[in-house]
Structure 1
Amino acid sequence: MSSLKVDNLTYRTSPETLKRVFEKYGEVGDVYIPRDRFTRESRGFAFVRFYDKRDAEDAIDAMDGAILDGRELRVQMARVAEDLSSIPGAGQGRGAKSAQSLHLAVKRTVTTPHGRSREAL
């Protein structure tokens, strides 16, 4: 399968719309629109997977720069994430020794039921 990254989407563009538009160039396996984990709104880009690489290339040729929902699309082959083995501690799961030095401290004020407050990390 070949994946395309489609940038500059409106927040209202649906996976169904993207599938309908892109399936003109070949059989689409699936469409994924990442969403913000808190607001659940679209993050403004999507991934469209084609079964055939030639169909994906045809879609890039036709759709890069095309207008959809009033926006000019940027379409390119999706890139595979960097090999994590080159990053110390990455990809070793939670609690890995090499990742133990990575911490995030948040300073906050805690108020007890008795009205006392103290700073906590």
Structure 2
Amino acid sequence: MNIFIGNLSYHMKDEELADLFAQYGDVESARIIKDRETGRSKGFAFVVMPNDDDANSAIESLNGHDVNGRPIRVNQAIEKERSERRPRY
């Protein structure tokens, strides 16, 4: 399952995020989204967990949890359809 994490500290690293979610099961990937030009965190991330039960447990436990002084938002990521007018490069 693909999980969205919002309201992250701008200083959090991918490895810290993976460790946080690994408490609930296997983590396939953990990626903090960064600005292309500055390389600075945008304050949100995506974690992929292969087991849906583990992922749901992580979502329930971590949503609203304080991480580095910020209450994070955690929920299942919703796939957006790509617009034909706005190509991705």
**1:67 maps onto 2:66 in alignment:** yes
Structure 1 counterpart SS, 2:33: coil
Q: For structure 2, which runs of at least 5 residues remain unmatched after alignment?
A: none
Q: Which amino acid aligns with 2:59?
A: I
Q: For structure 1, which runs of at least 5 residues remain unmatched after alignment?
A: 94-121
TM-score by length of 1: 0.68
**1:44 maps onto 2:43 in alignment:** yes
Q: Which amino acid aligns with 1:7?
A: G
Q: Which amino acid aligns with 2:62?
A: M
Higher relative contact order, chain-length normalized (CA < 8 Å, sep 6+): 2
Instruction: State how far apart, in whole Å, the 1-side matches of 2:7 and 2:33 are.
Output: 13
Structure 1 counterpart SS, 2:28: strand
Instruction: State how far apart, in whole Å, the 1-side matches of 2:16 and 2:32 are.
Output: 11
Instruction: State how far apart, in whole Å, the 1-side matches of 2:46 and 2:26 are.
Output: 14
Number of residue pairs matched?
A: 87
Any idea what the Cα deviations from partners look like across 1:53-110, whole Å, max 9, x if unmatched? 111100001000000011000000000112x4xx5xx18x7xxxxxxxxxxxxxxxxx
Instruction: State how far apart, in whole Å, the 1-side matches of 2:24 and 2:17 are.
Output: 12
Provide the aligned C-alpha RMSD in A. Answer: 1.7
TM-score by length of 2: 0.91
Q: How much has 1:34 moved relative to structure 2?
A: 1.1
Percent of aligned positions that are identical: 35
